[in-house]
Amino acid sequence: MRTLGFCLLLGVSGLALTWLSGQVGWWWVTPLVGVLIGLLLRPAWLALVTSLAAGGLGWGLPLALLAFTAPVGRLAAAVEAVFRLPATGGTIIILLTVVFGCVLSLVGTWVGIAGRNLPGFQAKPSPVHGEMDK
């Protein structure tokens, strides 16, 4: 139960940091959030899933909310036309934006998980009961 609570805390915090940093144009905070999730959350699969959700929602929810007040679909369709992609009404560009947020977060988490194995970051093993240090 503690792991689930810690996972939710990191996920919601990561989502909030990703969202707020995206609002001011600091896209590079997304991989940093991923690194923190990778360093703090174990096991690795849980860190990756949490990071995927935080990155995808942190980049996707602002687009979804912006779609209520701004012509997000028409702007994305214009970008599709510039890159000579098939005309899908902007769906490809919007999906690529969310995928980009997911990839940024996952790469950061991967670095964080790899960083846990560095000598300075490894947890010290607890002494086995009954063994003496030599």
Q: How many domains does the chain have?
A: 1
Does residue 124 fall inside a structural domain? Answer: no
List, as one string, the DSSP characters of the chain.
-HHHHHHHHHHHHHHHHHHHHHHTT-TTHHHHHHHHHHHH--SHHHHHHHHHHHHHHHHHHHHHHHTTTS-HHHHHHHHHHHTT---STTHHHHHHHHHHHHHHHHHHHHHHHHHTTSGGGPPPPPPPTT----
Residue 13 confidence (pLDDT) above 70 = yes
Q: Which of the pair, 38 or 120, is modelled with greater confidence?
A: 38
- Residue 109 maps to a domain: yes
Range of the domain at 54: 9-119
pLDDT tens-place string over residues 38-88: 999 989 999 999 999 999 999 999 998 988 888 888 888 888 888 888 888
Whether 77 is covered by a domain: the verdict is: yes
